[in-house]
């Protein structure tokens, strides 16, 4: 099951209490205060891991608490610190404060660690309060409470190229042809109900990651269809490949389809619509009317967008499109690293 948004509660450990004690031992000529400090409470940390690609492990376990520190003891013994808790999250996870909406951290690399809740400090024992004029103190402190937060975790897949378009435009078939990903493929809309990632290899040994995003319809940015649930997954992509069904079976105008999806991207995020884009005339093997293809080609030329013809079934244009996506995505990746 693919889960890309969860709400959880985290509570760091409380500090242990300071101890009130006096030494009364045989053969110890000088007694005095001997209460030790309390231990520090455990922290809660998030650690990004490539072993996770969904937030499912938080769905049925939404509360996480770290251990509290042990109380101080006599003979100036400090209490043991509470054990911290490390919570693994997928790379691409964004952490928000659920109450204020504040962005707390964005995990973009493997192995990142972020302390989300700090454990409470242990209280001081009465030995800490002894002075030359106050030699028998009875003061001691309770441990400080650990931080607690309500969080919203949102997963945004990390991919170089995002495949967008109307439902049943051929996105799943394409990703199955160019990578080892095997999404569900069928002749009805919304076959893809969750994003799929595929690693694509080029002949020169370079690789890039493609994301197959569930189909968009008019009003998607308002929640219609699968709505905004998956639009966030193309926010991080470096390139968009816009697949447009040019076959007569769709019953729609290809140029209108392109405009609708572009408007949905723009309504969700202007930066998303401004990403570099390739226009792909999909299902060329069933396109009987050349005017449908030419109208889409002319529109792409007016907008200055690269245009490709594709049939994932027959293999027409697959290698050419794969190379174009790889070159463009990897070039932008290199530019980003240099800047």
Residue 131 has pLDDT above 60, yes or no: yes
Q: What is the mean pLDDT of residues 133-158?
A: 92
Q: Which of 39-48, 91-100, 182-191 has the lowest mean pLDDT?
A: 182-191
Tell me the sheet residues that pair with 22: 33
- DSSP H or E segment with residue 104: strand 103-106
Distance CA 315, CA 92 (A): 33
Q: For residue 189, what pLDDT is reported?
A: 42
- Which tops the pLDDT comparison, 32 or 8? 8
Altogether, the residues listed in the chain come to a count of 339
Residues 84-129 pLDDT 10s: 999 999 988 999 999 999 999 999 888 999 999 999 999 999 999 9
User: pTM of the entire structure?
Assistant: 0.72
Distance CA 200, CA 326 (A): 8
- What domains appear along the chain, each with residue ranges and CATH number? 5-155 (2.70.210.12), 161-338 (3.40.50.300)
Cβ neighbors of 84 (< 8 A, separation 6 or more) are 42, 43, 44, 45, 66, 119
Contact 183, 47 (CB under 8 A): no
Torsion-angle region of 184 (φ positive above 0: left; ψ -120 to 50: alpha; else: beta): beta
Distance CA 114, CA 108 (A): 12
Q: What is the mean pLDDT of residues 204-221?
A: 74
Q: Which residue has the tokens 């001081």?
A: 124
Q: For residue 237, what pLDDT is reported?
A: 86
Distance CA 70, CA 141 (A): 13
Residues 61-93 pLDDT 10s: 999 999 999 999 998 999 999 999 999 999 889
Residue 276 has pLDDT above 60, yes or no: yes
Q: Which of 1-5, 222-226, 249-253 has the lowest mean pLDDT?
A: 222-226
The per-residue pLDDT of the chain, averaged, comes to 86
Q: For residue 217, what pLDDT is reported?
A: 60
Q: For residue 230, what pLDDT is reported?
A: 65
């Amino acid at each position: 099951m693919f889960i890309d948004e969860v709400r959880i509660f985290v509570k760091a450990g409380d500090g242990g209490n300071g101890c009130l004690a006096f030494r009364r031992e045989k053969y110890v000529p000088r007694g005095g205060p001997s209460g030790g400090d309390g231990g520090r409470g455990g922290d809660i940390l998030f650690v990004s891991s490539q072993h996770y690609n969904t937030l499912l492990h938080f769905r049925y376990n939404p509360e996480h608490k770290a251990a509290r520190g042990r109380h101080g003891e006599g003979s100036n013994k400090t209490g043991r610190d509470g054990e911290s808790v490390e919570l693994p999250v997928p790379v691409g996870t964004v952490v928000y404060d659920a109450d204020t909406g504040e962005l707390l951290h964005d995990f973009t690399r493997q192995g990142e660690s972020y302390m989300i809740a700090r454990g409470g400090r242990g209280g001081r024992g009465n030995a800490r309060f002894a002075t030359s004029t106050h030699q028998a103190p009875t003061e001691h402190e309770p441990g400080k409470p650990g931080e607690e937060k309500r969080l919203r975790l949102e997963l945004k897949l990390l991919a170089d190229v995002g495949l967008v378009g109307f439902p049943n435009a051929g996105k799943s078939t394409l990703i199955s042809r160019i990578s080892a990903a095997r999404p569900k493929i069928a002749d009805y809309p919304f076959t893809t109900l969750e994003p799929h990632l595929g690693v694509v290899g080029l002949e020169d040994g370079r690789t890039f990651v493609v994301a197959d995003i569930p189909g968009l319809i008019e009003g998607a940015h308002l929640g219609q269809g699968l709505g905004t649930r998956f639009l966030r997954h193309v926010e991080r992509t470096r390139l968009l490949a816009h697949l447009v069904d040019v076959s007569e079976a769709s019953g729609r105008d290809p140029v209108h389809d392109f405009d609708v999806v572009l408007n949905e991207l723009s309504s969700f995020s202007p930066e998303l619509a401004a990403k570099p884009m390739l226009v792909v005339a999909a299902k060329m093997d069933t396109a009987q009317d050349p005017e449908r293809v030419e109208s889409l080609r002319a529109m792409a030329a007016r907008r200055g967008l690269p245009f490709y013809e594709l049939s994932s079934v027959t293999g027409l244009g697959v290698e050419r499109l794969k190379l174009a996506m790889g070159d463009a995505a990897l070039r932008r990746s290199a530019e980003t690293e240099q800047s």
